[in-house]
Structure 1
Amino acid sequence: MLLQHFVDRLRLGSLPPTHAVTQSLAAIAAREPAVRAWTHVAPQQTLLAQAQGVDPGLPLAGVPFGVKDIIDVAGMPTRCGSNVTPDAPRAYDAACVDMLRRAGAIPLGKTVTAEFAFKAPGPTTNPHNPAHTPGGSSSGSAAAVAAGMAPFALGTQTGGSMIRPAAYCGVVGFKPSFGLVPRDGMKLTCESLDVIGWYGAELEDVACVARVLLPDPAMGTASAGQGPLRVVLIPGAAIAPVQPEAEQALEQAASALRQAGHAVRTLAPFAQAGALLQAHATIMEYELARNIAPVARLHGAGLSPQLEGTVRRGLGIGARQYREARQLQASMQRAWDALAGEADLIVTASAGGTAPAGLGHTGDGVFNKIWSLLGWPSLHLPLARAAGSGLPVGVQLVGRHGQDALFLALAARLRDALRAHVSDRQAA
């Protein structure tokens, strides 16, 4: 059920206020043993009491949601996917959780994250095939939405931690522009890169949450217009090697957009990709190392080899190298016109292919790191299932910084064009 449809029916009195919470708890009971998306779920009676007392006039009245376990929820522990963190409940909500509560939404519980939102995966499996990774680091949030256990869920992205799990799990994942969603109450990995985002089953659900979490200047009246859109297509291979299903998804998207009358220009090669990826790696390792160093000093033996090694490597990066990477980041953040010209948005790969087999890794975020570095809004749009494996595939959309409302409206137009193309092909 779309969030707005549920809220409208609740407001009219045709649904009980506990309806969505009851549905989520039933889905958790049925699917959590296999999917393992949650580290903590609030008691049923607490959730039902909160739902019963919600004001039906609020924009997200009675809508339950998941919270990645690096973001605080009052009364729940924040373990950051690690055994070295205390399990005492937090006293206060993170700012974003408080905003959602004040809009009538109800936090169900905490979702699995990779260790300190980095690489070492948690126990979550892919809802479409438990032998495959759900991605990371926001694995639990993406999987919970994909499995129908929550209408939406909060995640975070430093490199590819929102978009890649969305791609692997087949849900809509939205990373807003850098700096728009307050991060108070979140365990920071990298202060220059980290963004709080969210997952939904449909683009309209993501937009409903955006109207609560994003400030008015970003979410004010925005019209996507009626004329042809100008799209820059960046082939996956322009950034890194891709599997055939990822490239095919991009080609099908480009074909559908052209048939719908939109202008699609291909950017290949992507000359700046290498320098941007190197800058991202430098900034991420430098900042992550200094943010995790206090934990590593006291509990180094309790950290994964991946994280402990990255802390060591990051502490070895000098201030000059870091400053140069930040300077490149700052100059390129303002370079939309140089990269995309007058394009309305960019379409590129969300991941190198479908979710890889195995649960010992979370896949490669190389296709998302550039947009994390630049701080531009990005979104994964599910398209179809890959032939043979049946795993989800889709594309990544990228927009201009600070124009998130317009970006979501443009994404809806592209989604409609792609759906019409699929319908036409099936009718034929």
Structure 2
Amino acid sequence: MEQLLTRVAARDEQVLAWSWLDPAQAQARARQAAEEIRQGVRHSPLQGIPVAVKDLIDTEGMLTTYGSPIYKDHHPTSDAAIVTALKKAGAYVMGKTVSTEFACFTAGPTMNPHNPEYSPGGSSSGSAAAVADGQVPFAIGTQTAGSVIRPAAFNGVVGLKPSYGVLPTAGTFPLCPTLDTLGTFSRTVGDQRLILTALAPHLPIANAVKNPKILVCKTPFWSQGDDEMLTEFDQFVADCQQAGADLEHYEMGPDFAALLTAQQQIMGVEASRALSTHYDQQCDQLSAPLVALIEQGMQVNNADEAAAHNLKARCAHKLQQLFRDADFIITPATAGTAPKRVDGTGDPLFNRIWTLLGLPAITFPIAEGENGLPLGIQLIAPLGEDHALIDFADKLQTLTRA
């Protein structure tokens, strides 16, 4: 903890990853954890490990603002379920990391640790940046569109968006209950095994898939990726094939393209409900982009919302059939490297449909762009196959490093 706080003191004026951090409290928690270990207490492999928690997640005794000035003095009186799970596993919360406003698209102060002129992504900006900068080993974030995978890729760390519902969301601000998913950040793929096993002990640990079949899925949005990302993606696929991977190219049909609009409609209408009181009573304290999102959501009628959910169900069924003969899907994680901060937090274009379908996804860096920023790959597995996904990502990353 002393080393981490030294790193924070040296770097966080440049990165601004933390929304709340009390060094004295962090040291006290570290001393308590160390004493438990000396006494032989071992709850899980996370015993004594500090974890950063996104500012969207209630944490007793710590300022939790949801990224909004409306909650600038909000101190929860109880922990969110994921914080309780962390403590039960023997980990402790080091502090709170910056979230965009209500986990939407209006950026907070966090900068990309690779270059402060660039965005760390969103909405889990601080969580990804703090891990990338070596200020904390693990962090918790959330994803409703692309808020774990995108910032993980932009910051060059490993990000896991588990299957929908694997990690408990009670006590996390409910922006969009049918999509909101807690996710985790780490510096290695293998570290994801530790944190998922500790936080989701109910999730079956399946044996690693032998000789998995991989579907190379450029998605209907392939043409919107930049040349650098598309070139590195193709090179990564070629590296996988040369390493002996069983690959098959898969072209998604028009229904999957329509999932993009479906995700945007569902997110918009549920966000408009979640934020309706703030819109009615405190609209002057909401950013213009968030007001626009709320108002767009208000325009989605019941028939369109039902149609979006029906399309989601049809596509989920198609993928279920597809996964009978295949094990994993590989796609780009983002359209390119991180944008300049003045241009926003980046487009979750390559993440939205997988979040909508609830499938587990993981990203890790595969290359460096000409601007010196990371580029990440995205792997997707069938629902509930989170551990198999981590094992596969770990193997694939090792194979392609050579």
**Kept in 1: contact 2:221–2:349 (CA 8 A):** no
Question: How far 1:78 moved relative to its partner?
Answer: 1.2
Q: 1:359 to 1:73 in 2, by over 3 A?
A: farther
Matched, 1:287 2:273: no
Secondary structure of 1:335's aligned partner: helix
CA distance in 2, matches of 1:117, 1:240: 27
What amino acid is aligned across from residue 156 of structure 2 in structure 1? G
**Kept in 2: contact 1:236–1:246 (CA 8 A):** no
| Structure 1 segment 15-94 matched on structure 2, within 5 A | 21-44=1-24, 45-55=27-37, 56-59=41-44, 60-94=46-80
CA distance in 2, matches of 1:303, 1:353: 29
| Structure 1 segment 139-218 matched on structure 2, within 5 A | 139-216=125-202, 218=203
Question: How far 1:48 moved relative to its partner?
Answer: 3.4
Matched, 1:408 2:390: yes
**Kept in 1: contact 2:159–2:364 (CA 8 A):** yes
Partner of 1:376: 359
Question: How far 1:236 moved relative to its partner?
Answer: 5.8
Q: 1:219 to 1:149 in 2, by over 3 A?
A: farther
CA distance in 2, matches of 1:151, 1:212: 15
Question: How far 1:95 moved relative to its partner?
Answer: 0.7
Structure 1 unpaired stretches of 5+:
1-20, 424-428
Select the residue among 374, 377, 382 that pairs with 1:395. 377
CA distance in 1, matches of 2:77, 2:320: 45
Select the residue among 128, 131, 136 that pairs with 2:117. 131
**Kept in 2: contact 1:238–1:269 (CA 8 A):** no
CA distance in 2, matches of 1:43, 1:385: 34
Deviations 1:42-64 (A, max 9, x none): 33243333333334523211111
Q: 1:306 to 1:277 in 2, by over 3 A?
A: same
Partner of 1:9: none
CA distance in 1, matches of 2:219, 2:302: 32
**Kept in 2: contact 1:245–1:353 (CA 8 A):** yes
Secondary structure of 1:196's aligned partner: strand
CA distance in 1, matches of 2:342, 2:394: 33
Secondary structure of 2:275's aligned partner: helix
Question: How far 1:359 moved relative to its partner?
Answer: 4.0
Q: 1:90 to 1:269 in 2, by over 3 A?
A: closer
Shifted more, 167-176 versus 233-242: the winner is: 233-242
Deviations 1:284-343 (A, max 9, x none): 101000101111111100100000111112112111111111121123223324455511
**Kept in 2: contact 1:348–1:397 (CA 8 A):** yes
Deviations 1:345-389 (A, max 9, x none): 000010000111224510000100000000000011211212x31
Secondary structure of 1:53's aligned partner: helix
Select the residue among 97, 105, 108 that pairs with 2:83. 97
Matched, 1:385 2:368: yes
Partner of 1:11: none
CA distance in 1, matches of 2:114, 2:332: 20
**Kept in 2: contact 1:172–1:200 (CA 8 A):** yes
What amino acid is aligned across from residue 351 of structure 2 in structure 1? N
**Kept in 2: contact 1:121–1:360 (CA 8 A):** no
Q: 1:238 to 1:295 in 2, by over 3 A?
A: closer
Deviations 1:236-262 (A, max 9, x none): 664451112211221122111111211
Shifted more, 406-415 versus 286-295: the winner is: 406-415
| Structure 1 segment 185-334 matched on structure 2, within 5 A | 185-216=171-202, 218-220=203-205, 222-226=206-210, 228-235=211-218, 238-268=221-251, 270-334=253-317
Secondary structure of 2:350's aligned partner: helix
Shifted more, 72-81 versus 133-142: the winner is: 72-81
Matched, 1:418 2:393: no
**Kept in 1: contact 2:154–2:376 (CA 8 A):** no
Q: TM-score, normalised by structure 2?
A: 0.94
**Kept in 2: contact 1:234–1:270 (CA 8 A):** no
Identity %: 38
Structure 2 unpaired stretches of 5+:
none
CA RMSD of aligned residues (A): 1.6
What amino acid is aligned across from residue 185 of structure 2 in structure 1? Y
Aligned residues: 396
Q: TM-score, normalised by structure 1?
A: 0.89
Secondary structure of 1:54's aligned partner: helix
